[in-house]
């Protein structure tokens, strides 16, 4: 039997056709929305959109009202919901009897409303869910996912513009793969495999969350069997001892456009090897025995990536940096913002190293290229513009 789907002539509404449905039919692309009834299982039909989404439904007569009704069965998925699965579901429904069948599909109206949500709507719900405060093991109330801002950024920047208006249940793995390829190709700014990887992670979390029992916005996540991304190679460029020395002394220059405490924070990071998130929130009550033999800085677990307390011993040089940062300040934070009694902004150190834009103009970078180039002859050939890492 010929199982090809032939679109109707333009300008005319074609009649609904019938055939023995196969999985191949459900996967075939169509020029316009097509509805096919199954000869093998009366009442079962599939509706295929131009986007490649095939949806199974069941048409039956409600004996209580005498009217024809349609019940939604599910979206075709080669792995989780095939033609045979749809047939089995219909056979099971028919065996329930008329009243039970009608009642089942009345209950499905609520579920259908849930599946009518757009991607943008479930993104909003997901972000609200992530940032909702919950009680953590240490007894504090903090966001459910403490890195929710990064995930929200990926959802809003990379997924919402392309898929936001689509119904969540109609998003396919082809849509996710195409979006991923476009990010790698630079259609969302600078070409970036890393951003594509972040997008996939955020999308997978979003759709898995949307498919959980109680939400049921989608039947299954479309983030499956995606083509592998090219591997990312870590940078191997590191600063030499001479470059670190130049960097260190360059931070003492008075003609740099950044706050002194920002530069002291960079020095403290170099001395202790703590992450910027761990040290920027340093408070006076987290410092111990600065004038004694065993000075230390206790980083609470909420600022540590692996959620454990760090007891950081402080060298004499680290103590000097802290004392200078606290000198003339009555603020509770060691590396306080010039805008009030709060820590420096989380991007302050990164902006000082890389430079940032103010009113459309790039501000001068700090000691990384500026001080090194000032201290070394031009013929030296050193290139710190490649963002070397500090070790």
Do 329 and 353 fall within a single domain?
A: yes
User: Is residue 260 scored above 80 in pLDDT?
Assistant: yes
pLDDT value at residue 197: 95
Cα separation of 273 and 390, whole Å? 9
For the beta carbon of residue 79, count every other beta carbon within 10 angstroms: 8
Q: What is the pLDDT of residue 335?
A: 93
For CA atoms 23, 25, 29, 32, the dihedral sign is: negative
Give 25-83 pLDDT, tens digit per residue: 999 889 898 999 999 998 899 999 988 889 999 888 776 677 777 878 889 998 889 99
Residue 100 lies in a domain: yes
**pTM of the prediction?**
0.57
Number of domains forming the structure of the chain: 3
- pLDDT band at residue 106 under the 50/70/90 scheme: low
Q: Are residues 81 and 178 in the same domain?
A: no
Q: Are residues 263 and 352 in the same domain?
A: yes
- With CA atoms as reference, report the closest residue to 352 among 343, 342, 362: 362
Q: Give yes or no: residues 288 and 360 share one domain.
A: yes
Whether 39 and 135 share a structural domain: no
CA distance linking residue 101 with residue 89, whole number of Å = 12
Do 23 and 98 fall within a single domain? yes
How many CB atoms are located within 10 Å of the residue 298 CB? 14
Q: Does residue 355 sit within a domain?
A: yes
Decide which of 82, 111, 140 is a domain's last residue: 111
* Co-location of 152 and 73 in the same domain: no
CATH of residue 61's domain is: 3.30.160.390
User: What is residue 334's predicted lDDT score, i.e. its pLDDT?
Assistant: 94
Domain span including residue 340: 257-366
Is 192:182 a contact under the CB 8 Å cutoff? no
Compute the average pLDDT of residues 15-25. 82
Residues 294 and 350 in one domain: yes
CA distance 59 to 86: 13
Single out the residue in 111, 143, 164 at which a domain terminates: 111
Are residues 140 and 106 both part of a single domain?
no
Is residue 251 situated within a structural domain?
Answer: no
In sequence order, the 6+-apart residues with CB closer than 8 A to the CB of 266 are 251, 349, 352, 353, 366
Classify residue 2: in a domain, yes or no.
no
Same domain, 160 and 89: no
User: Which letter does DSSP use for residue 156 in this model?
Assistant: I
In this structure, are 84 and 127 located in the same domain?
Answer: no
| 124 and 78 fall within a common domain | no
Sequential DSSP letters for 168-200:
GGG--HHHHHHHHHHHHHTTTSS--HHHHHHHH
What phi and psi values does residue 38 have, to the nearest 5 degrees?
-95, 120
pLDDT surpasses 50 at 21: yes
For 129-172, write each residue's pLDDT tens digit.
Answer: 999 999 988 788 989 998 899 999 999 999 999 999 998 988 99
Query: 111, 131, 157 — which closes off a domain?
Result: 111
For residues 236 and 228, the answer to whether their CB atoms sit within 8 Å is no
Distance CA 250, CA 267 (A): 11
Cα distance between residue 119 and residue 384, in whole Å: 42
Contact 376/382 with Cβ under 8 angstroms? yes
Neighbouring residues of 186: CB distance < 8 A, sequence distance ≥ 6: 192
Residue 231 covered by a domain: no
Q: Is 310 a domain residue?
A: yes
Q: Is the predicted pLDDT of residue 364 greater than 60, yes or no?
A: no
Position 206 scores a pLDDT of 96
Domain-embedded: residue 243: no
Residue 379 in domain:
no
């Amino acid at each position: 039997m010929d199982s090809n789907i032939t679109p109707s002539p333009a300008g005319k509404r074609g009649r609904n056709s019938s055939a023995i449905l196969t999985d191949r039919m459900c996967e075939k692309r169509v020029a316009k929305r097509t509805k096919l009834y199954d000869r093998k299982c009366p009442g079962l039909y599939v509706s295929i959109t131009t986007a490649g989404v095939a949806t199974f439904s069941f048409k039956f007569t409600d004996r209580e009202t005498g009217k024809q009704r349609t019940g939604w069965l599910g979206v075709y998925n080669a792995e989780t919901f095939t033609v045979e699965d749809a047939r089995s579901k219909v056979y099971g429904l028919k065996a329930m009897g008329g009243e039970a069948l009608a009642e089942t599909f009345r209950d499905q109206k609520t579920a259908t409303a849930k599946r009518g949500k757009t991607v943008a709507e479930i993104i909003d719900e997901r972000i609200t869910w992530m940032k909702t405060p919950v009680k953590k093991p240490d007894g504090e109330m903090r966001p459910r996912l403490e890195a929710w801002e990064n995930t929200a950024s990926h959802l809003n920047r990379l997924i919402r513009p392309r898929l936001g208006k689509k119904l969540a249940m109609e998003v396919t793995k082809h849509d996710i793969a195409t979006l991923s390829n476009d990010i790698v190709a630079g259609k969302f700014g600078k070409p970036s495999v890393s951003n594509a990887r972040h997008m996939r992670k955020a999308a997978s979390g979003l759709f898995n969350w949307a498919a959980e029992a109680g939400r049921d916005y989608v039947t299954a996540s479309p983030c499956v069997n995606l083509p592998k991304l090219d591997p990312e190679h870590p940078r191997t460029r590191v600063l030499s001892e001479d470059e670190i020395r130049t960097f260190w002394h360059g931070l003492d220059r008075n003609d740099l456009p950044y706050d002194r405490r920002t530069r002291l924070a960079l020095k403290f990071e170099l001395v202790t090897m703590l992450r910027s998130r761990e040290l920027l929130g340093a408070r006076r009550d987290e410092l111990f025995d600065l004038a004694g033999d065993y000075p230390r800085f206790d980083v609470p677990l909420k600022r540590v990536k692996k959620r454990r307390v760090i007891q950081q011993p402080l060298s004499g040089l680290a103590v000097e940096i802290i004392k200078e940062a606290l000198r003339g300040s009555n603020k509770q934070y060691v590396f306080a913002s010039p805008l009030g009694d709060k820590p420096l902004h989380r991007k302050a150190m990164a902006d000082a190293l890389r430079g940032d834009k103010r009113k459309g103009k790039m501000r001068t970078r700090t000691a990384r290229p500026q001080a090194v180039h000032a201290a070394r002859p031009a013929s030296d050939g050193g290139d710190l513009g490649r963002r070397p890492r500090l070790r």
